[in-house]
Structure formats: structure tokens, C-alpha cells
Amino acid sequence: MADKLIIVESPSKANTIKKFLGSNVKVVASMGHVRDLPKSKLGVDVEHDFEPQYINIRGKANLINSLKKDAKNAKMVYLATDPDREGEAIAWHLAYLLGIPEDAVCRVTFNEITKETVKESMKKPRKIDMNLTDAQQARRVLDRIVGYKISPILWKKVKRGLSAGRVQSVAVKLIVDRENEIESFVPEEYWNILATLSKNNDKFIARFYGKDGKKIELHKKEEVDEILQNLKNAKYIVTDVKKGEKKRTPAPPFTTSTMQQEASRKLSFPIRKTMQIAQGLYEGVKVAERGTVGLITYMRTDSTRISEEARNSAKVHITNKYGANYYENRYYRTKAGAQDAHEGIRPTYVDLEPEKIKDSLTADQYKLYRLIYNRFIASQMAPAVYDTISANIDANKYNFRASGQTLKFKGFMTLYVEDRDDAKNEDEETHMPDLSIGEEVKKEKLDAKQSFTEPPPRYTEASLVKALEEKGIGRPSTYATIISTILDRRYVQKEQKQLVPTDLGKVVNKLLVENFSDIINVEFTADIENQFDEIAEGKEPWKQVIREFYTPFEQEVEKVDKELEHVKLEEEVTDIPCEKCGRMMVVKYGKYGKFLACPGYPECKNVKPFVEKIDVPCPVCGGEVHVRKTKRGKKYYICENNPKSCNYISWNKPKPGEKWEPEQQKTKNTSKTTSTSKAKK
């Protein structure tokens, strides 16, 4: 019989904690949630103040019986599930099943799973925080009501089996809205004039600014030609020079969302993969000569706060490895509204450098751990310092501007530089000679460059997480689930890292936005998240939030259901006749996208694949080019006559008039070229 029983969520976490405690302690795993709302019905008693009707999760009977037996044989039971709202709710459900009173001092949490922290936390048990539990209940109940009430409308109007989610539907809306922006975007022409100038054969680039000190935007070739004509015999005189110093400071330690974004940009990890790997690093990894230890702090946080102990460890490491001038004591302000219960994400032991423990980690664990480690250490380092110079240069009343910067002190950039979605490299060194006011510089050449404005980029997983966070949609613990859900439901698909709405996603989004605009919008979703935060802080009863939401929502659902009862969604009619009955087939949407169906259903049940065509003829035989997808959803292009009389097939969309050669032929030609060049050498 164990004196103490500790229940955590996962076996790996249990195995790590076991090694830190004595033999009189038993540590077991609940394997996540043990109770939930039933899948087969609403599971919320709307007639009796929205009481949730929880049931034991199917398939967990043996586990629950085992937990009850262990609890009965222990003198004291501690619930050590994850330190967030979800973990608090799991602890509450476990307490219910095991007959532990609500006011029992049985809850312990670990911000990091190290021997010191686990032992210290075990000395400070507390009661279950019902405010955190109620915040999770409110989210679960509200999401169940929205999904359960709206989804049947999608079944009637689009396709059975579809589902709507409060937060996921807003994420789809953001992606569809962005796609609409891209499709309706009209490019605008603009021009740049670049002057290559030199001083003592030391060349640099100056950019056209305007005339007589006033900025001019160039949109027409005629304007550019006139300026170029007027500059033909011009002298280029330096009229102003400014020298200075620029500092770039490091990014703060990771929050959940910034970790997800950087892992997506730098490592090409999907959000879900990042969270799975981070969970493993938090719960514990067996490290040579150290045993099993949690390598990072808790990975669900939106705080950048760091403990003084960790700050001091970073100081010692930086001064010893890089020198005292590379260290700068930094405190980062956590943004307003952030949950500050946990520190930012950091390594638990600064002495466990990524390279030292590389052999103890999988390749992906190493990559993510190195990212987290370097980001944290860099956050406590001195800024990078640049020498800067900028100059105004006049030529026949026209103004040009030039600037340059040289890295003087690398600082934190020795270790880590944050990536950007906009791909602008502000840290690139640009050369400029030392100029003086009044001197003439030589014109080497003048170039006019035509460009066109570009539409906003599609969302990637990283930029969608950033948008969700900025707009207050969801919370750090939910981003991975949101993105996984919309991909799994095939409302959105990935194309070269970009998130693109599918035809099914567009249809579902249109129906929801047109009929539930009060619910499927950013402002409402963000406001609800704020109300969940109020519940977590004990400022608002959770059922009051549901009461205020439910009545107008129920009325809206009844109204929409009645209005759509006799409304048939417009179907896209094709010019393809049904070979069985002669009717023109229509486009329908299924799990895997579009397909053709006879409108005479149920009398005629004929269906056939939908063939997507492009308006460029086959570069080999002139036939139609069809768009198809692999099992993983990647597009490719194939001639309608392949394989009968044409061999055209390519990953790349053909362009009018281009010549094509098979991929294997290209490979052979490349090999030939390489061999020839080697032979010549």
C-alpha cells in the first residue's frame, strides 16, 4: 500500500515524476480526460440551467476502476494534472470519480518537471480551483451548444456529417476572406528609379525620392521617361549626411503562440507536431548521466515572465561562454490580458546545452529544444549594434536617398535571430562610402524598374496563429486544435505551406456567415474568450455567461431553420449530360471535394468525378489539361490524352507556349550537364 498516490495525465510524465519521489509514492496516469459530454446527444440540460450531463468516457472503464482501487489503497491522493484550465477540469472530474471532497487539499501543479520543482510543489498542495474548472466547463458547454444546434442545418443544406464550431468556423472565415481579397485584388503599376553612384570607384545605390524635397510616387512610364530625360546630364550632389547607431534587441522568451510560429517558419513543423514534441520535452526525456528529466517549462502559456533563478543561470552561462559584454539583464512585459500563471517557455537546466544532449533526443526533439534554448539565452543577451549612414543626393532638383548599415557588435545575434512572416531582412548589411555634404558623386547608371502591387499573402499556420492571437480568438492551448480541426474536416487544405479554403469550406462558410453573422464573427468570438477569462478570475458565474448567450442564439437557430426550410442552395449546373437520364449534371461537395451528380436524385443516382480543367492547352499535343490531386492533396497537371497518345504530366501548371520535357528527361539532362562540366574541368 502506497502512502501517497499521484495522478497525472500521461505515462511519460508519470515515469519522470516516479524517479524523483520515494518508494512510498505511486504515480499513475489518467490518460487525459476521464469524463466528458456524451457524443450521441447534446448532453446539456437546457431546461435545468444548462447542467452538463457528464458520462465516463467510453473505453476507460478498466482504467477508472484501477484508479479507484489505487485511491482506496492510498492514505492520500494528489491530483497533478497539467497546470492549466483543462488540467484543472480533469482534476475536478477525477475528484468526482474517486469521491474526493471539493474542498480537499489535493491539487498540485508543476511548472517544470525537475526534481527540485516536483519536491517543492508536493509540499504546497491546494484545493481544486473551481474558477479555472468553471472556465473550462463554460467553453465546453458553449461549444457543444453551438456545434450541436448549427451542424444539423449544414446536414440539411450541404452534406450529412459536416460540423460547425464556434472558433473553428471563425478561423475558416479568416482564410476564406483572405482568399476573396486575393481573388478580387487588382494590381496597380508603380515604378522605382535606382541610381548606381560611386565615390572613388566605391559604388552604392540611391533610390529616387521626389522633387524639391516633396515625395513623388511614380505610377506611369511617361512620368519615369520624363524624369530620366531631365537627369541625362545632371550632377549628383550630396546635400545631407547623417551618421548614427542602431540597436536591435532580442525577442522575448517563447510563449505558446510565438513558439508555434517560429517552429513553423524555421523548422517547417505543423502546429500540432510542435505541441506534441514540446509536451514530450516538458514531461521528461531520458538524458545520459542525468536520468529522466523535463527539459522545458510548461509549454501552454502566453507569459514572457522568467524566474529570477533562471535569469541568474542565464547570466552565468552568457558571461562564461561569450563574455560579460554579451549579457544584459532583461525583463519582458507580458501583454495586457495574458494569462500570467506560468513563466515563458524556457529550458529547465541551462547547463543542458542542445549539443551536449543531442544523442539523447530524437532529431525533431533536438531541433525544437535548440530553438527554445537559444531563444531563451538570446533573450538575456546584449543588443546587436549597427553603424548607420544615410544621405540625401540632389540632381537637377530631383531628390535621391541612400542608406547603409554595418554590423559593429553582434550581441544576441551570435546565437539567435527571429524570423519574420514578411521576409524583410532588416539586418542585412548594406555598404555606403563615407560621404560629405557638398561633394559630387559619379553616376554609373540609372535604372527604371516597373513593379506591380501584390495581393495580401495567404495564411500559413504561423501567420494564422499570429492573427488568431492578435484578434483574441482562442487561447494558446487551443490553436493547434483549431488548425487541425479545419484541416481534418477538409474545409481548408495546405498548398506549399499556405492554407487555402476548399470548395466545401467556401460553401460552409457562406452558409454560416449569411445566416449566423452574429456568432461567426471575430468580435463575438473574442468577447466570449474575454468572458471565459472573467470566469477563470472568479469575476463572473459560468452559467450566467451561458444563459445570456443561449436565449438569443436559440431564437436565431429557429429563425434560420425555418427560413431555410424551403430554400434550396443554388447548385452549379454543368454542360455535362447524365448518360442515364439526360439531365445536365450538377456540382456537389463531398468529403474529398467536388463531384458530379444527377439532379434527378433519388430517381437517378448517377454520380461521377468532377474534372477540373485549365485554360492552357497541353504543351505536347494541344489537348485539354486536367488538374488532379494525389492522396495527400498535392495538385498535379495531366493531359486528357495521357496515357493513350500523350505523356504530358507535371507538378507545375503549364504556361502558354512553353516547351515541356518529362521530369526524368530533365534529370538526365541535368546529369549530362554536370558530367560534361566535370569532364571539362
Rg (alpha carbons) of the chain, rounded to whole number: 31
Per DSSP, what are the bridge partners of residue 562?
none
Chain-centroid distance of CA 244 in Å reads 37
Residue indicated by cell numbers 539565452: 377
- What stretch of H or E contains 246? strand 236-248
Angle among Cα 50, 51, 54 to the nearest 5 degrees reads: 130
Burial class (CB in 10 A: 0-12, 13-18, 19+), 212: exposed
Do the beta carbons of residue 586 and residue 90 sit within 8 Å? no
d(CA 303, CA 210) in angstroms, rounded, equals 45
Q: Quote the CA–CA distance of 349 and 314 in Å, as a whole number.
A: 10
Tell me how far CA of residue 492 lies from CA of 43, 160, 587, 643, in angstroms: 29, 18, 19, 31
Examine residue 152 and say whether the peptide bond preceding it is cis (omega within 30 degrees of 0): no
Q: How far apart are CA 172 and CA 405, in angstroms?
A: 42
Per the listing, cell 474575454 goes with 530
Taking alpha carbons only, the member of 364, 190, 182 closest to residue 263 is: 364
DSSP run (H or E) holding 263: helix 256-267
Annotated catalytic residue 298: yes
Q: Report the alpha-carbon distance of residue 87 to residue 630 in Å, rounded.
A: 39
CB-based contact 396:374 (threshold 8 Å): no
Catalytic residue among 282, 298, 327, 398: 298
Phi-psi region of 593 (alpha: psi -120 to 50; beta: other; left: phi over 0): left
d(CA 168, CA 314): 39
Please write down the long-range contacts of 142-148, taking CB distance under 8 Å and 24 or more positions apart.
142/166, 142/528, 142/545, 142/546, 142/549, 143/167, 144/37, 144/42, 144/43, 144/44, 145/42, 145/44, 145/46, 145/546, 145/549, 145/550, 145/553, 146/519, 146/553, 148/42
4-8 and 76-79 as β-strands: parallel, antiparallel, unpaired? parallel
Backbone angles phi, psi at 237, to 5 degrees: -110, 130
Strand ranges (DSSP E) for 263-311?
A: 285-287, 291-293
CA dist., res. 588 & res. 571, Å (int): 7
> Whose grid coordinates read 424551403?
566
> Residue 455: what residue type?
P
Residues 6 or more apart whose CB falls under 8 angstroms from that of 237 comprise: 393, 394, 395, 438, 439, 440, 441
Query: Which residue type, as a one-letter code, is found at position 229?
Result: Q
CA dihedral 367, 371, 372, 377 (to 10 degrees): 130
* Spatial distance between the Cα atoms of 211 and 215, rounded to a whole number of angstroms: 7
Task: Report DSSP state, residue 420.
Answer: -
Residues found in the chain: 681
The catalytic residues are 298
